Chains A and B, each alone.
Chain A
């Protein structure tokens, strides 16, 4: 019995760590999609870029892991501004099909580019010693890396919630998500707001990608492999809702992880079945606006 409880707790714990990755990567997608209605299938490619930046910095240049993560956030976030200005901007008014095609094209190019530079084999990242072992939390010992992930996720959730709900910038973003035309007409520069959130979202995706290397691995197909999962988190949670993204990431992360442990062959099926069912009932997601 004791053993069973331990297994249960460790599955739940793994699921939580996994959910944090899903949240950190998806939240930017959710806000940018909510803000501009832009279907960005290249979001996974930004996360992947973060993963490769982290790998390169830690293994090739010996940069400490936390610093490499911060660098991934800044570099990818800043780099994404160029994409937003040059490419995405042209298609804000276009239909979702055009946006899908453009961003699939970018994702393909990213996959090819990273395969060319890094090769198709999985990459690993050097994690500092204090994150390598196990940590005693009083009710059990857990891998330190997962504890670290959950802690980062919790801090980010709180930080984003505060920024979104309690600051002027967050209020402007929420206003623009709710009603873009009205936000414009009261003098909010929605375009600049979007560039800013886009950079922030891509940076967070890169951070998530860097964190994910040690947990789910990194190959050049990362850009599309997990994309469906990110999109599902966004769609289930509801566009532009941080609360919804947190909830969807937790539920999907924990269930997907548990399903893979307990029922390795069919675990994936239930996630998608639940998603379809939920979207049929609430097409705008749990906390989206109809």
Chain B
């Protein structure tokens, strides 16, 4: 069937709209410049820095699932943990110490878990979905506890050794290699996520988030799209988990716990969900506050994060980046869309 003339014009406009959104903006270089700068300015804090980058990646994977596809999950740590244990056990139990292939395996294992669980779970919404994602993650945690002989249980999996990266770069005590390794992985996966959310597929995800009935009515394969997005998000979370295991050379079953699922959710919401860079801002603010307040007293930290969460929900629903955008608009310059 040949497309009629106005149809073609409309398509051209739609393509132009997507391209315009996709175009890189100058401000987008900021986080990357900051990350590279931090490498030179804070050489003593690179261990913390690589943890931060890993959490950014983890939050980014949740952004795809929650911020774009609108899937509310309380069990995102399931994928982080799967990745962490895959990479960790490959190195500790199978003697597979090559880091990059270990990371790929971590992503693949988490993707598999995401695909299978997503296929079952994503037919549900609301409370049932919350409970199902939560219970799935805890089920994995309990499974790890059942086979504590292999996983090390809650005492942790020790004995992870990692071969030099690309056969050349050794992991040092100060985390130079780890930092750059995590940064490179984050950058590549960020490009992938950015590509996805601005693609027609990403538009369909946003459509499902905004109005699922309408997407059904339009004939969009809603369930399949959600499962694909969930699987990709799971894979990225798994890679973040793999990085975590490789850089700490230690994993405990805590990586699968509700606390970690809640923490990543808090980071994303704090920064702003559904806006790519929310993961960066949220994870950075969360981790810096944690580092600072937890040193004063762990109770301060927990109280602070709780209060921050309550205030965010009540007054800054679009996160810190949303606040920044509002401020920009308020002062008349108008934030770029």
Instruction: Tell me whether A6 is interfacial, beta carbon within 8 Å.
Output: no
How far is it, in angstroms, between the C-alpha of A279 and the C-alpha of B132 when the chains are bound? 7
Contact call B265/A101, Cβ cutoff below 8 A: yes
Q: Which residues of B contact A235 (CB under 8 A)?
A: 127-128, 131
How far is it, in angstroms, between the C-alpha of A97 and the C-alpha of B305 when the chains are bound? 17
Instruction: Tell me whether B223 is interfacial, beta carbon within 8 Å.
Output: no
Q: Which residues of A contact B138 (CB under 8 A)?
A: 228, 268, 272
Contact call A100/B128, Cβ cutoff below 8 A: no
Contact call B302/A104, Cβ cutoff below 8 A: no
Contact call B139/A228, Cβ cutoff below 8 A: no
Assess A104 versus B142: contact at CB under 8 Å? Given A33-B127, A112-B302, A284-B128: no
Contact call A224/B258, Cβ cutoff below 8 A: yes
Q: Which residues of B contact A22 (CB under 8 A)?
A: none
B143-173 residues at the A interface, CB under 8 angstroms: 143, 145-146, 148
How far is it, in angstroms, between the C-alpha of A273 and the C-alpha of B269 when the chains are bound? 30
A46 to chain B, nearest CB (A): 15
Question: Which A-chain residue is minimally distant from B302 (CB atoms)?
Answer: A112
Instruction: Tell me whether B7 is interfacial, beta carbon within 8 Å.
Output: no
A72 to chain B, nearest CB (A): 23
Q: Size range of the interface on A?
A: 35 or more
Question: Which B-chain residue is minimally distant from A109 (CB atoms)?
Answer: B306
How far is it, in angstroms, between the C-alpha of A91 and the C-alpha of B204 when the chains are bound? 28
Instruction: Tell me whether A250 is interfacial, beta carbon within 8 Å.
Output: no
B129 to chain A, nearest CB (A): 8
- State which of A105, A112, A276 has its C-beta within 8 Å of the C-beta of B139: A276
Question: Which B-chain residue is minimally distant from A111 (CB atoms)?
Answer: B302
Q: Mask for A169-187, Cβ within 8 A of B = 1, else 0?
A: 0000000000000000000
Q: Which residues of A contact B120 (CB under 8 A)?
A: 280
Contact call B74/A100, Cβ cutoff below 8 A: yes
Contact call A108/B302, Cβ cutoff below 8 A: yes
Assess A112 versus B136: contact at CB under 8 Å? Given A102-B313, A266-B145: no
Most buried by B among A91, A235, A272, A273: A272
How far is it, in angstroms, between the C-alpha of A202 and the C-alpha of B269 when the chains are bound? 28
Assess A232 versus B131: contact at CB under 8 Å? Given A104-B309, A265-B146: yes
A93-122 residues at the B interface, CB under 8 angstroms: 95-98, 100-102, 104-113, 115-116
B residues adjacent to A (C-beta < 8 A): 66, 72, 74, 120-121, 124, 126-128, 130-132, 134-136, 138-139, 142-143, 145-146, 148, 258-259, 262, 265-266, 269, 298-303, 305-310, 312-314, 317
